[in-house]
Chain A
Amino acid sequence: MEISTVAGESSTSATQTTIRIRPPRSRLLAIWNGATPYLFLIPFLVIFLAFFFAPFVYDILQSFYILKHFGGLGLTPPKVVWNGLANYQQVLTDANFWRGFGRVLIFGIIQIPVMMGIAMILALLIDAPLLPFRRFFRLAAFVPYAVPGVVAAILWGYFYTPSLSPIVQALSAVHLPVPNFLSNSTILWSIGNISTWEYAGFNMLIFYSAMQAIPQELYEAARLDGLSEIAIARYIKIPMIRPAFMLGLLFSMIGTLQLFNEPEILHGISGAITPTYTPIIYAYNIAIIQSNFYYGGAIAAILGIITFIFSYFFVLLTQRQTGA
């Protein structure tokens, strides 16, 4: 697998801060007892086989079948019959699936840049030695990440519910028009707000940590050259933390494609969240609510493949660019 060599390189390059080259084998310790590394790996591999590989294969196998009745009212137990690739064909032409997918794409195109922008500005402001109380601001931004997604969704749900919302209370107290956070046209951005609130601080911390690891000599040289803090941010910090930025981006993309908790909770307070709202919610509704494990399995498989391809090419692309 191509990706493994990429990671293998980086793993050992960590000890030498200078150049990234393919590590010579001698960097790893050759061992005299062939079984030892496998023994260390056994617990992981057992869990991996039981809770990743087996369910993965099971899911794929199921997706080739379908439940069928053979005429009549269907009030007798159905039979499980081989359906070949028909389930996959159906997913590829399923308007509900693609509508949900499109929704998640739009969500990602807007929400991810907003969140990453906030996180980057925060990280730069907190890293630059210009402002007071930076430690406090850093902690405050990170605190929402401690709130479990479900609780965050319940909490923000109260801010969106007109009868409970302090936002609505405040706006109507000064006779301003009250926004409807839960309508069909706004709910996606209400979810986006929850994601941004939860994860902006987390991304900030990724960027900030990377900035902290930039060698001081670079700054000192830049300051001697008379560069302003803004110029330092622009020409040193942002380019230097590019890998960290890409990693945060990858996490966010995977998270967005799997959007589930927040809309599923908000479903309780807004009818605008339909059972086909996001691909995962759709898969959940088909597989669990309608207990059609077969078609649901095909949706999950296709979504998994799309996510994998996305991430794979993303990683490949960033490696190419940094390698060039």
Chain B
Amino acid sequence: MASRPLRATALVSVLLIFTSLLAACGSSSSGSGGGVVNLTFWSFNQQITDQADAFNKTHPNIHVTALKEPSGFGQYYPKVLSAIKAGNAPDVALIEYQYVPTFVSRGALVDISQYIPQSVRQQFDPAAIGLETFGNSLYGLPQDTGPEGLFYNAKVFAQAGITAPPTSWTEYAADAVKIHALGPNYYITSFSPTNTGWFQALMWQAGAIWFTTSGNSWVVNINSAQAQQVAGFWDNLIKQGLVDTATADGDFQSGWNNALDKGTIASWISAVWGQGVVKGDAADQKGNWAVAPMPQWTAGNNDSAFWGGSGISVIAGTKHAKEAAEFVQWYLTDSTSLNIGVQQIGWYPSNLAARQQALTTPDPYFAGSTPGGQIVDKTFASVNIPSGWAFPPDLDAVTNFEGNDFNTAITNNLTLVSQLPNIQNQVITDLQSQGITAKAGN
């Protein structure tokens, strides 16, 4: 009977398709040949492929593939972490400072202290190197830092009768009244309860250090007197309706982008990297914006804090830690790479030599207070960052607790101050449940 062979071939072919399919899939993951070490590099900066190309040209034995990853949905870091668990992580990745302890506590970063000599480390901002160093271990080199200042729309400020940017928080609150007087849609700033990193930087600037270490224990101090003072300051503005708490107008959201462009949100407390955001989002306000130091709690100080800022780390599971570290060092010390970073990506570099170069060019976009344009980075060059702040090893949990509780507060007309004890307790409980030693600082 002819039917049997036919049936057999048909089914064998189906099986063959499936096995060859699986085989074809498997082969794509491996890929080193001819003595060239292949590295993968993830970042959410643009133009990183140009930097990788420059590296590949001068390093015949190493080939770096740079992938620009999306940063929305909070999906970048989870992707790195789950890729590590899955065994297909990049060899090198951009990690913002606030995530470094969280990544270290997952065993996700490689200690590169043996590859990076002291002489190289000394080329960088010590405060930034400090955020990458734990004991004797070094978990990355700092790319750029995020000291904060006050970006403001000088034209709108002038319309409101404000001649100089506020130097103290008291003046800031008074200016908030004047700007809101321009119209019901006008606000000095948006205030998003879920913008947790931003709020933590405000705490840090006031010396309300939420997280420190003492010996082998974390000290959590979210409900300190200074913290209550900062939260109370914003409670007062929120209660009077002087800041925009609409959920669509939080930082980076489309309503906010548009409000910056129209000038109805008149200022933004932001890090130095924020200049790129302002220029991109408020293109129609060219020439109107300016930048000033942050408002102060103590007259005469120039206190600020870091919001964001990134380092480049070698990711656990790499088979080529040495070559990866070589790329990291090149990436942050080579002049071609730094030029692309500073000129095109807009880094405020942690590399001190490169920072000097960044401090020379005035930007005509920021001509609100200085005709011809301000040298924006200069405002950030001499700030004082209060010492002692360490980022917690469970940042995402802290973000959830803070975001949830502050959101509840705004929705139900409660104060931020009233939420602080609960946030602190949840953070301590969470750390302890992971087997980490933590105690309250007050």
Instruction: Give the interface centre of A73, A78, A285, A293 by most chain B CB atoms within 10 Å.
Output: A73
Residues of B within 8 A of A183 (CB): 246-247
**Pair B246/A182 contact, Cβ less than 8 Å:** yes
CB distance from B71 to the nearest CB of A (A): 12
Interface set, chain B 1-34, CB cutoff 8 A to A: 7, 11, 14-15, 18
Assuming the A-B contacts A75-B104, A269-B253, A271-B193, are A291 and B78 also in contact, with contact meaning beta carbons closer than 8 angstroms in the complex? yes
Any A CB within 8 A of the CB of B105: yes
From residue A150, how far is it (CB to closest CB) to chain B in Å? 11
B435 A288 Cβ-Cβ under 8 A:
no
- Residue-by-residue, is B183-201 near A (CB-CB < 8 Å gives 1, otherwise 0)? 0000000001111000000
Complex contact B247–A291 (CB within 8 A): no
Cβ contacts A283-296/B at 8 Å (1 or 0 each): 00100111101000
Q: Report the bound CA distance from A272 to B249 in whole Å.
A: 11
Smallest CB-CB separation from B213: which chain A residue? A73
Main secondary structure of the interface of A (DSSP, over half): loop
Contact yes or no, A161 B248, CB < 8 A: yes
Structural contact, B431 and A272, CB atoms closer than 8 A: no
Please state if A72 and B437 are interface contacts (CB–CB under 8 Å).
yes
Say whether A46 contacts B407, CB under 8 Å: no
A93 part of interface (Cβ distance < 8 Å): no
Once A276-B400, A276-B404 are accepted as A-B contacts, the answer to whether A74 and B436 lie under 8 Å apart by CB is: yes
Q: Could you tell me the distance in whole angstroms from the C-beta of A51 to the nearest C-beta in chain B?
A: 12
Tell me, in angstroms, the Cα distance from A70 to B411 when the chains sit together.
Answer: 39
CA distance A77 to B316 in the complex (A): 10
- Asked if B216 is at the interface of the complex by the 8 Å CB criterion, the answer is yes
Answer yes or no: A275 CB below 8 A from chain B CBs: yes
Are A74 and B105 in contact (CB-based, < 8 A)?
yes
Residue-wise interface mask of A (130-172) relative to B, using a CB-CB cutoff of 8 A (1 in contact, 0 not): 0000000000000000000000000001101111100000000
The residues in A between 29 and 70 inclusive whose CB is less than 8 angstroms from any CB of B are 36, 39, 42-43, 46, 67-70
> Which residues of the partner chain B approach A69 to less than 8 Å between Cβ atoms?
105, 434-436
Asked if residues B11 and A42 are in contact (CB atoms below 8 Å), the reply is yes
The count of residues in chain B whose C-beta lies closer than 8 Å to any C-beta of chain A is: 54
Decide: B218 and A73 in contact? CB cutoff 8 A.
Answer: yes
Contact A163 B258 (CB under 8 A): yes
Interface residue? A13 (CB, 8 A): no
Closest chain B residue to A290, Cβ basis: B396
Are A78 and B105 closer than 8 Å at their CB atoms? yes
**Chain B positions within 8 Å of A184 at CB level:** 247, 407, 410-411
Minimum C-beta distance from B407 to chain A (A) = 6
Residue of chain B at shortest CB distance from A264: B73
Instruction: Assess whether B72 is interfacial by the CB under 8 Å rule.
Output: yes
**Alpha-carbon distance A65/B334, docked complex (angstroms):** 45
In the bound assembly, the distance between CA atoms of A69 and B102 in angstroms comes to: 13
Complex contacts, A269 vs chain B, CB 8 Å: 248, 253-255
Measured CA separation A271–B72 after assembly (Å)? 14
Contacts of B434 in A (CB 8 A): 67-69, 74, 78
- Of B11, B85, B106, B400, the residue contacting A39 (CB under 8 A) is B11
Residues of chain B with a CB closer than 8 A to A271's CB: 192-195, 247, 250, 253, 403, 407
> In the complex, which residues of chain A have a beta carbon less than 8 angstroms from the beta carbon of B403?
271, 274-275
Residues of A within 8 Å of B104, CB to CB, are 75
Q: Is B166 an interface residue (CB 8 A)?
A: no
The interface bits of chain A over 167-190 (1 if a CB of B lies within 8 angstroms of the residue's CB, else 0) are 000000000000010111101000
In the bound complex, residues from chain B placing their C-beta under 8 Å from that of A76 are 105, 107
Residue of A nearest to B195 (CB): A271
Which residues of chain A are near B396, meaning CB under 8 Å?
A: 285, 289-290
- B82 on the interface (CB 8 Å rule)? yes
Contact sample, A vs B, 19 pairs, CB 8 Å cutoff: A42-B15, A43-B18, A69-B435, A69-B436, A74-B105, A74-B431, A75-B101, A78-B435, A96-B404, A161-B254, A162-B246, A268-B72, A268-B73, A269-B254, A271-B192, A271-B194, A271-B195, A272-B247, A275-B400
A residues with a Cβ closer than 8 A to B are 36, 39, 42-43, 46, 67-78, 96, 157-158, 160-164, 180, 182-185, 187, 264, 267-272, 274-276, 285, 288-291, 293
